[in-house]
Amino acid sequence: MIQASAPALILASQSAARQSLLRAAGLRFEAMPAAVDENALKTSAQAEQLRAEDAAVMLADAKATRIARRHPDALVIGADQLLLCEGQWFDKPLDAAAVAGHLRALSGRTHHLVNGVVAHRHGQRVWQHAGRMALTMRPLSDAFIAAYVAVEGEAARHSVGGYRLEGPGMHLFTRIEGEHSAILGMPMLPLLAFLRQHGVLAD
């Protein structure tokens, strides 16, 4: 895999999972967290009755736009992920009790993770992608949920579902449909295809 020296690649995210995926693919990039009011944007999206895919792209675009204004020559990648279960949108849990609440709500049900990814360069959006994955969680007992929360600790709060599929969260599911990297927060196959088309990676 050969990456061009220009443009510089910037990930507008502080997500450890997204950074790990890009590093695993051999990409050279800089991570810059974008300070946007995600809750306000989600509230607006729901009030406007946007599709989850459109809302995820809107959130990703807000992040990329904020960083791209300061680095117009770079290729800035923004990403966001939403979780929906039977019409309800979930936010990242704030504490261990909220993690347990998420798991009880998702237990025995199929929920969807919806990703939005955009790329900005020279003051404009040059690419976007949206995707949806379906995950079916097995029925979980209160005892199991308590044990899981104790094992995962602080790490569980960094995922919108309260689980990390790359860790002990694998024990929660009976069926998973979708690209593994997309479930972790970054659909790498579409992203790598775009980077090749854009000349960042050798084809």
Q: Which of 54, 61, 73, 80 is catalytic?
A: 80
- The pLDDT of residue 120: 97
Q: With DSSP H G I counted as helix, E B as strand and the rest as coil, what are the percentages for the chain, rounded to 5?
A: 40, 25, 35
pLDDT, one tens digit per residue, over 16-32 is 899 999 999 999 999 99
pTM of the model: 0.89
Q: Quick check: is 1 in a domain?
A: no
pLDDT, one tens digit per residue, over 35-72 is 877 778 788 877 788 899 999 999 999 999 999 999 99
Q: Quick check: is 203 in a domain?
A: no
- The pLDDT of residue 27: 96
Closest CA to 33 of 80, 93, 1: 80
Residue 203 annotated among the catalytic residues of the structure: no
pLDDT, one tens digit per residue, over 72-112 is 999 999 999 999 999 899 988 889 999 999 999 999 999 99
Q: Quick check: is 202 in a domain?
A: no
Q: Quick check: is 88 in a domain?
A: yes
CATH, residue 181: 3.90.950.10
Q: How many CA atoms lie within 13 A of 144 on its CB side?
A: 12
Residue 1 has pLDDT above 80, yes or no: no
Domain that holds residue 125: 9-197
Q: Quick check: is 2 in a domain?
A: no
Binning pLDDT at 50, 70 and 90, where does residue 138 land? very high
Q: Quick check: is 127 in a domain?
A: yes
Q: Quick check: is 4 in a domain?
A: no
Share of the chain above pLDDT 70, in %: 100
How many structural domains does the chain have? 1
